[in-house]
Structure 1
Amino acid sequence: MVLEEILTSLTMCFFYTLMPCLLIGGVVVLPAPQNLSVQSINMKHLLTWSPVIVPGEIIYYSVEYQGEYESLYMSHIWIPSSWCSPTKGLECDITDDITATVPYNLHVRATLGSQTSAWSTLQHPFNRNSTVLTPPGMDVTKDGFHLVIELEDLGPQFEFLVVYWRREPSAKEHVKMVRSGAVPVHLETMEPGAAYCVKAQTLVKTIGRHSTFSQAQCVKVQGEPLPLALALFAFVGFLLILVAVLLSIWKMGRLLRHSCCPVVVLPDTLKITSSPQKLISCRKEEVEVCATAVLSSEELLRPWI
């Protein structure tokens, strides 16, 4: 049994190395590429295949795809890949070709001069919602007392859910949504002497999936926590300063009001010291007495003087 397997392997090696082409009806036929597969990580899709070996020759490969629309509404038309028609490599980045979350058929053929192989088709259609999502790379730093995170840039389709907390028992977790990577993002102002931890996961809304969370990264701010008495003193000082500012504003307002709109004080000669009604009720013979009661001796002599 073992001998039979060895002979089979040797036969296959001989076939792919010494006899790369088949002779059918007097026409040389180039073998089709084998072992097609798609590796998809974080919405980057890579189609790979095994080589067609012809000693001393360079083989070129063509890649075509067919989406659901082409299959159902365009008579099963196949579209050449944007980057791999043709290519000398054994892989093709089909990320830009896969634009919808539907099954895609893919096939590859080999070309040598005027010879072309048959198409070799991917065994199962590929759907981008099967991509493997990994936790994002992240860099957690401190800028003074500021907690800052910078996330890996995975492309415009990716968003990030960031969770951070103060490292202490029963600490409350805070959540922040970050729309793009490669940009430093401020999370929180840290307290001296405290440690803060951060973790993140990737989100892709177009396929409705998310990755697992990354390992938590923690940073600590040097220094001692602010004593309670000092904090209370600072709070009282702040209140005193606030009261002083409000009093200054009130005083300045009064000064400005009296400067711009002063109160006009009438001279004593224009003031009526007695009721006009009382003056009218005096009889003629009492006019002089009333006048004497109203006017002082100095005011009576003033015309003569």
Structure 2
Amino acid sequence: MTFNGTWELNMKPLGVWCVCALLLCCWCSSSAARAVFPAPQNVTIQTLNMNYVLKWDWDPDQARDSAHSVTFTAQYLAMFKTKKPKNKQDWKSVCESTPEHVCDFSSVQLHYLGMWMLRVRAQSGKNVSSWVMKEFCPDRDAVIGPPSAVNITPVIGLLQVAISDPLTITNGSMKEWLPNMYYFIQYCKKSSSAQPNNLTSANNLVVLPELESWTWYCVRVQSRDDYYKKTSVFSPTYCTQTDGQTPSWQIVLYFLLSLALSFLVLVGLFMCTFRVVKVVKSTFFPSVPLPAPIQEYLCDSGSSDTPRLLSTEQELENCCDTLDLLTPDPEVTEVTEVILEVHLPPESSQQSGRTRSRHSSCDSGVYSTEGSGPRQSELGEMKMEKLGRKIRVEELDEGVQDVSV
């Protein structure tokens, strides 16, 4: 009894130990299976000012047996939180399940003076690798860049160098985080094998001393900070020429050239103006005048210089008439008004269809006129009256009539 009772009592602790051993084996086997999946290798951080990029290597042959593609997850956490187990859930993912082998932490804007812990792992389906940790302090580990811009200006035989600070991710100045940053300047003559001259300055505006006038110099600048021995790469090399006082012979030469150029310009303008005036004058005021008969019939009267247009057929016929002015009889001392009437035969009146009359006023004189239209064999009788007196009209050859008073 005692043996059997003792045996029964001893069997209960033995079963408990078996169950615990079985659970421990299962957990160890699962942990071993999880640890078998390889982790990323050669984890590094590439930095420039406040740009931080986490990179790692991965061999595709390490997960050849996996049926799923391999992805990666990268996280960060402040260093002081990693020492407390309850804060381990505060890890923040920047890149999650990405197939790339790089993750950019610049957008997170990690504090430049803080201490951070970065980590990355690989996963493929249910297979997950262990985390690869990386400690990072931007103030200590981040690399500073060269000046963002360098401008060189000649100033009275010297060179003035304007330097722009390196920029942060928000386009701010890196001097906000590195107040002791300064610049290392190298300059030398262009195409010269001599040792370059060196100059250090914390100012953004530097004047290079002891330079030769009218000489080409090349300049490059480097950013430096001595606290963590940070040194940037050199900026691109910029070359420019110094100036100086202009020699007197050059001043005289420039003055003579300017005078010659001004003279040529004035001559050219004068010639152009003369040609334009000549063309305008020859166009609107021709040198050969029109014949006197044409000018007489193109004007309204003998004293008018305004030309008139021939608009009717009758006026075109009148252009062919001839006018003769005869000397008046001395016996006639005063004529105030002369009325000239022309009576045509019936057949002539049918052709012309009109009767012309002309009125004129003058102190004294005799008028001669020739009818327009076709020549008539017989000219009608003309009667002229002036204050009750009749004037005789004599018929001339070719249809020209003399009127005498």
Alignment TM-score, normalising by the size of structure 1: 0.46
Q: Find the structure with the greater CA-based Rg.
A: 2
Alignment TM-score, normalising by the size of structure 2: 0.36
Q: Which one has more relative contact order, counting CA pairs under 8 Å at least 6 apart?
A: 1
